[in-house]
Structure 1
Amino acid sequence: MPHQLHALAWLRWREAQRPRGGVLADDMGLGKTITMISLIVSDKEKNLDNEDEEDDPEKNSRLVQGGTLVVCPASLLTKWAGEVSAHCGPHALAVCAHHGAARATQPRRLAAADLVLTTYNILQRESEKGGVLTRVFWRRVILDEAHAVRNHKSATSQAVCALRAARRWALTGTPLHNKDLDLFALLKFLRCSPFDDLTMWKKWIDNKSLGGQERLNTVMRCIMLRRTKAQLQERGQLTCLPPRDEHQTDVTLATDEMNVYQKVLVFSKTLFAQFLHQRAERQADAQGFLHTGKNSEYEKMHKKMIALQGAKPVKSHEILVLLLRLRQVCGHCGLIASMLDPDDTPVDEDLGSQDLLAELNKLTLNDQRSRRKSGEKEKEEEQEEEGEGTTAAEAIRSVLSPNNPVFDLSRRSAKIDAVMRCLQEHVFPNKGEKAVVVSQWTSVLSLVERELKNAQVRCVTLSGRVPVPARAPLIAALNDARSDVRVMLLSLCAGGVGLNLVGANHLLLLDPHWNPQLEQQAQDRIFRVGQTKHVHIYRFTCLDTVEQSIRQLQKAKLELADNVLTGARNTNASKLTIEDLKLLFNMGPNPSS
């Protein structure tokens, strides 16, 4: 396709520059893999010598000279091998998969191949032990899904940076997830001097100045090629993609579900008020909070927390855990009664492991006893508050009782009901159409799976728990028009890694995530080159809950990424700030307003 030919010309040009390589950041589904394979093949056909590498400071004459090394998630090994087989002649490239127990131990075995495929995990383990991958001077190293190394302190990031190569490429549709520092990890891998040094990065780029932002924009314009599907369609260069519609589905929680949500919200706001008070006492940047008046919402919540909990410090991860609980209630109230699945945890990588549900019950059920310990009341107003507190405690005991039917996972929640209605109205009546249902939590996917089985609809589940070898048959079943599989249940984590799910043309996003790039990755699993049907994206949001606030924060994060990648000025914070948290707990104005 025209955009791939343009990319190939740009790749060749970049390999003649310094640093040799760069970032191919096209939208997911635009054929980055095939473009890179074309580069490797054209490079071989030219039979280029290594004369341009003789002055390479990384070259070591004692190292074996190898071909191209591709490092990717394990689930993409078969994709790379399959693309070579499908688009190259029988003997165009000698491919070696460096994976599994029988992988090579001698550098010369790897050097004999034109293309070596391995995984981030294998590379990390071998790098720690001086393994065979580190004893080859590669003609080219390609990182697929390169955002996997965005944490420059991680062992994986350090392992890819330690590889010795003449040319370096990073492939990712989402080079920026949360902060500008994500890009530093890529510049470090690319040997983009002087900004591959953290000290220089902080001095000249990450200095919170307009000049620093402009320098970053200039660097990225030089070493990165990025085209979105929308841009290519506007230019008439991508006529093969079908139309795509996005649908916002608002969900109203049932009365008993909203009661549970409100009780958890009240406790969360109380704890957050204590957190703010602690922060204000440590810092001098919140004088307004300290002087809001004794009858303010903040002050009342702070007094209540002190009465219940004393002066026990509130940690930031406790606030994030409570936000997690609020989000889970939106899916099904029964989810807050159990610990997170191991497969769910990586999505919220900033969360601690503490489960605050027990603390919530403890504080509410012991409300009267705690208040008695707090001593005599000083004012009549506080006595009135105490009477209200007694009533509230009784109400909370009733709402949060394990016997409350709302916690029964066999009962269909408002959101699950909305999901099933969507499938029954828009997918199942249309022969040949299939859907991918995406959630951050496998526990939510299990609830949908139960409903699908009750409706006698065949589905498959793909999550982090599914072994890599077992994933290909699941994907094939969805993509095969002759298969009776109508729905794939996909965890958000698993959906972010190079899957081709064009057999489905409906995608349902059940819950919003802090990182909108994860949702974008999931969407591009069905909206990509090869899709022939009209694509529909459905976003489910519970009204009057934290989910609506998360949607607002998503817009700010997408603007951040777009500003950096397009060269616009960036003035927005990239992580959850105190003002963001106030918005989520309905205790402050929208920071973007």
Structure 2
Amino acid sequence: EMGLGKTIECLAVINANRAKSSECSTPKNLKIAHSETVWKNVPVTNALMLDGGVQFQRVQEKYVYYKSRATLVIAPVSLVGQWEKECVDKSRVKLACKRYYGSRKRDVRAYIDEDIVFTTYGILGVERGDDRKKHILHCIEWHRIVLDESHSIANGSTSCSRGIHQLRARNKWLLTGTPFGRHIFDIANQLKFIGLHHEHVNSLRLKELSKPHYCRNRLGSFLKVMQCMVMRHKKAQQFNGENIVDMPDKEEDVIVVEWEGQQKEYYDKLYGTAKERYEMYKATDNIGRGTITLLAALAPARQACSGHVYSMEEIELELSRAQTATYRVQTMVNANRDASRQELYGMAMQEAFNMNDEECPICFETPLDEPLQTICRHIFCGECIRTLLLQKPECPMCRHQCTLQQLKKPPSKNGEQEEEEEEEETKSNEAAAEQNVEEDVQPKNGVIKFDAKIKLVIAKIKALREEKPADKSLIFTSFSKSLSWICSELRKNGIQYRTLSGDMSMNKRKKALEEFANNDQVKVFVLTVRSGAVGITLTAANHV
């Protein structure tokens, strides 16, 4: 489980089980552990195929591996600094450590005699051992290789996984708190890395075990294998009759954030867009096939909850398109009630993705005849919509109340109508300003800020600073734009914080983590859920 000292335990293994220096290489005396001959396809210089392609020839190349006493640690970028800190703070023996990262030396002698060499999964993604002059890590037979957050190689088809499998070592270790993701099969590639033959891995039938209907009593062979090679620690574990770790009591509060004013109005429209997508799949009885699309449709509403800025016009336009698609699909289903689910799905996709914006949803004529737009921005032929509104004063697409008097010409392509609307909007905005109406929307550029949750978070942080000045807090968000906004608000309120981002160098990441842990003035650490899921130590925080 997380937070139980996998890094420290691994350092203990490194100190207690060192390689015999007399059998290993030194910078002045390189000892070959073994060599092998491989066949490679090499492009022939100045030779082109008739079709313009490059001609290749097969050549033999000798791969030499030099015996080292070093341990190679492969970790996410954010964790390398943490490893280095633990080497200094927790090891009684001084360890010689070096990074293979950034502007690195391309010489085996620079790494062959270290205690620990640190590198990242990103490096192994671009260095796979096929260039023996540059890919130095693949020229060494390491005493030990440690994969920290080893679930990073769950997918064996990535370039990173292939590069790691080409490494040579006498001992291999995997460190992870989450060996499985969604499926048991996620561990297969990790088992292959530590030496379990692919035929043995296949015999465990992990793909079948990953299926939800597979019988649990068939897990026996897999569990026996895991018991032979897994060292597991849990928070409830005891040593000499005492708990290995004592955790403080946890208090959880659920705070409901209510939308107000136009934020609620436009959030409902974002949610309405996702709901229309759902109704479209529901109409053809194919909800299961639309899982990915439906999750994607919910993303804008999720971003709004986290804190986001949207164009009001874009929100309304997307809702209008979704309602049009749903209406057309439902009309198609009603006209083809004898069709199968698969046939309906195919026709629905064709209707939804081949819609013509210039086509009337009522009569399906193209182009629109004297087009008119409803108050909810749906566009129809003038005669079609007038006839329907005389029967029932509501939009046939979204059931929004609409009268004949509210119909207007849609925006023209030359922008004349848009200019008239902007003038009217400016006048109404000026009138609202004169009445001192506070709005969440910026009227000049037509954007809406969903900031209810961010305002609450900042208020809570300020209250903690007054009530418990020594406490520190973590703020997690799922979206990078929300993270940037939160950081901006913290700066405005004079609250010192640190964060992690993808463009930060390894040294900057290390510095940010150390300052949050040791600087009493830094009270907040802001990070995304993804960046926080790689085992970084943030135990200085009291609140999340």
TM-score bracket for the superposition, by shorter chain length = 0.5 to 0.7
Q: CA deviation at 1:362?
A: 4.5
Match of 2:143 in 1: 139
1:519-542 CA distances to partner (integer Å, 9 max, x unpaired)? xxxxxxxxxxxxxxxxxxxxxxxx
Q: 1:30-60 CA distances to partner (integer Å, 9 max, x unpaired)?
A: 211111111111112887979xxxxxxx975
Instruction: State how 1:80-229 maps to structure 2 within 5 Å.
Output: 80-89=83-92, 92-106=94-108, 108-127=109-128, 129-130=130-131, 131-194=135-198, 197=201, 201=205, 205-206=209-210, 208-210=213-215, 211-229=217-235
SS in 2 for 1:148: helix
User: What SS does the corresponding residue of 1:249 show, helix, strand or coil?
Assistant: coil
Partner AA of 2:182 in structure 1: N
Which residue number in structure 2 is paired with residue 267 of structure 1? 273
Residues 1:467 and 1:335: Cα distance change in structure 2 (over 3 Å): farther
Report what 1:480 is aligned to: 518
Q: What is the rounded CA distance, in whole Å, between the counterparts of 1:455 and 1:243 in structure 2?
A: 31
Partner of 1:332: 307
State the shift of 1:72 in Å: 0.9
Q: Is the CA contact (8 Å cut-off) linking 1:328 and 1:335 kept in structure 2?
A: no
TM-score, normalized by length of structure 1? 0.60
Report whether the alignment pairs 1:372 with 2:376. Answer: no
What is aligned with 2:541? 504
Aligned 8 A contact 2:184 2:209 in 1: no
- Name the SS of the counterpart of 1:322 in structure 2: helix
Q: Which structure 2 residues correspond to residues 284-295 of structure 1 after superposition, within 5 A?
A: none
* Superposition deviation, residue 136 in structure 1: 1.9
| Residue type at the aligned position of 1:328 | Q
In the alignment, what sits opposite 1:29?
3
Structure 1 position 419, deviation (Å) = 1.5
Q: CA deviation at 1:96?
A: 2.7
- Residues 464 and 212 (structure 1 numbering): CA distance in 2 closer, same or farther, change over 3 Å? farther
Distance in 2 between residues matched to 1:501 and 1:195, nearest whole Å: 41
SS of the aligned residue for 1:262 comes to helix
Q: What's the secondary structure of 1:244's corresponding residue? A: coil
* In structure 1, distance between residues paired with 2:209 and 2:22: 37
Q: CA deviation at 1:502?
A: 2.8
Mapped to 2, the partners of 1:492 and 1:149 lie a distance apart of 19
Q: Give, as a single letter, the amino acid of the residue that structure 2 aligns with 1:360.
A: L
Aligned match of 2:67: 65
For residues 496 and 448 of structure 2, the distance between their equivalents in structure 1, rounded to whole angstroms, comes to: 19
For 1:206 and 1:382, locate their aligned partners in 2 and report how far apart those are by CA, in whole Å: 58
Structure 2: distance between partners of 1:183 and 1:335: 41
Query: Is this contact kept in 2: 1:64–1:135, CA < 8 A?
Result: yes
- In structure 2, runs of 5+ residues without a counterpart are 25-32, 37-63, 328-356, 366-383, 408-420, 430-438
Which is greater in Rg? 2
TM-fit CA distance, 1:451: 3.1
More moved, 161-170 vs 356-365:
356-365
Which amino acid is 2:183 matched to?
A: K
- AA in 1 matched with 2:150: A
Residues 245 and 196 from structure 1, CA distance in 2 versus in 1: closer, same or farther, beyond 3 angstroms? Answer: farther
- CA offsets, 1:110-133, max 9 Å, x none? 332232211112122221534221
State the secondary structure of the residue aligned to 2:470: coil
Asked if the contact 2:149/2:176 (under 8 Å) is kept, the reply is yes
Question: Do the aligned partners of residues 387 and 94 (structure 1) sit closer, same or farther apart at CA in structure 2, a change above 3 Å counting?
Answer: closer
- 1:186 Cα deviation (Å)? 1.4
State the superposition RMSD in angstroms.
Answer: 4.2
Report whether the alignment pairs 1:429 with 2:429: no
Question: Deviations for 1:131-175, whole angstroms, at most 9, x for unmatched residues?
Answer: 221222222210011122222221112222222222211111222
Paired with 1:446 and 1:356, the residues of 2 have a C-alpha distance of 22
Query: Residue 485 of structure 2 aligns with which residue?
Result: 447
CA distance in structure 1 between the aligned counterparts of 2:464 and 2:513, rounded to whole angstroms: 22
Which of 249, 252, 257 aligns to 1:246? It is 252
SS at match of 2:83: helix
TM-score, normalising length from structure 2? Answer: 0.65
Q: Tell me, what secondary structure is at the counterpart of 2:174?
A: strand
CA distance in 1, matches of 2:463, 2:238: 32
SS of 1:103's partner is coil
Distance 2:401 2:308 in 1: 19
**Aligned equivalents of 1:386, 1:410: Cα separation in 2:** 27
* In structure 2, C-alpha distance between the alignment counterparts of 1:227 and 1:33, rounded to whole Å: 13
The structure with the greater share of residues assigned to strand is 2
**SS of residue matched to 1:75:** helix
Distance 1:77 1:239, change over 3 A: closer
Q: Using the alignment, how far apart are the partners of 2:138 and 2:399 within structure 1?
A: 67
What secondary structure sits across from 1:392 in the alignment? Answer: coil
**Counterpart of 2:103 in 1: which secondary structure?**
coil
Q: What is the SS of the residue equivalent to 1:251? A: coil
Q: Distance in 2 between matches of 1:224 and 1:150?
A: 17
Q: Which residue of 1 aligns with 2:350?
A: none
Determine helix, strand or coil for the equivalent of 1:137.
strand
Equivalent of residue 502 in structure 2, options 457, 464, 469: 464
Kept in 2, the 8 Å contact 1:184–1:201? The answer is no
CA distance in 2, matches of 1:128, 1:153: 16
Task: Choose from 17, 20, 32 the match for 1:43.
Answer: 17
Structure-1 separation of matches of 2:482 and 2:518: 26
**Is the CA contact 1:229–1:238 (under 8 Å) kept in the aligned structure 2?**
yes
Per the alignment, do residues 197 and 226 of structure 1 end up closer, same or farther by CA in structure 2, a change over 3 Å counting?
Answer: closer
Match of 1:291 in 2: none
CA distance in 1, matches of 2:221, 2:311: 46
